[in-house]
């Protein structure tokens, strides 16, 4: 469809952290740095890894916890080094169909929420079953990239 797409993601490992009781913006900042330190060598192998995209943030309705995640680079998917920070963990996300809505510009928590609501409305109107109680934000650009930015909101297909 022109206003969203349905992607099929394979099972993959992500490195994640949960930030509790902060604003979404502050949780993203704190979570990003915890995960960035992991890929910079704060892991049991003291191994540096390339930064990957997207950086995702799981947002649950009525919940003040935010799960921030980096995709584990393909070459480390089989055996990612274990984090040495107890707040950071490796998780395996099962294969899933994901409804995706893309948009440009600098994405604020408000903009992500607005785009998620638009996507939810479209999916409901089209009778597409999806998990409505949570969504993910996905950012693809460094904060230093000023133009042609790419952001997404994701809902998981039921």
Break the chain into its structural domains and give their ranges. Answer: 5-156
Question: Which tens digits make up the pLDDT trace of 64-93?
Answer: 999 999 999 999 999 999 999 999 999 999
How much is the CA Rg of the chain, to the nearest whole Å? 16
Taking residue 156's Cβ as centre, other Cβ atoms within 10 Å add up to 16
What does the pLDDT read at residue 13? 98
CA distance 38 to 72: 11
What does the pLDDT read at residue 118? 98
Token pair listed for 99: 């409804």
Question: Which tens digits make up the pLDDT trace of 87-122?
Answer: 999 999 999 999 999 999 999 999 999 999 999 999
7: which residues sit within 8 A by CB, 6+ positions away? 97, 98, 100
For the entire predicted model, the pTM comes to 0.95
Is a pLDDT exceeding 80 seen at residue 1? no
Confidence grade of residue 55 (pLDDT, cut at 50, 70, 90): very high
Q: What percent of the chain has pLDDT above 70?
A: 100
CA distance 106 to 153: 13
Architecture of domain 5-156: Alpha-Beta Barrel (3.20)
Task: Give which of 101, 110, 114, 108 is closest to 143, Cα–Cα.
Answer: 108
């Amino acid at each position: 469809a022109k206003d969203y797409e349905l992607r099929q993601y394979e099972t993959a490992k992500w490195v994640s952290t949960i930030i509790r009781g902060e604003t979404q913006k502050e949780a993203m900042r704190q979570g990003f740095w915890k995960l960035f330190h992991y890929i910079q060598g704060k892991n049991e192998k003291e191994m540096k890894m390339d930064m990957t995209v997207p950086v995702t943030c799981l947002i649950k309705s009525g919940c003040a916890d935010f799960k921030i995640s980096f995709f584990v680079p393909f070459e480390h998917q089989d055996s990612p080094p274990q984090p040495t920070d107890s707040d950071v963990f490796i998780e395996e996300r099962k294969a899933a169909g994901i409804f995706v809505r893309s948009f440009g510009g600098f994405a604020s928590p408000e903009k992500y929420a607005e785009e998620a609501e638009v996507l939810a409305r479209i999916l409901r109107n089209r009778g597409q079953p999806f998990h409505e109680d949570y969504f993910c934000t996905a950012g693809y650009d460094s904060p230093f990239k000023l133009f042609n930015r790419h952001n997404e909101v994701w809902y998981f297909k039921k």
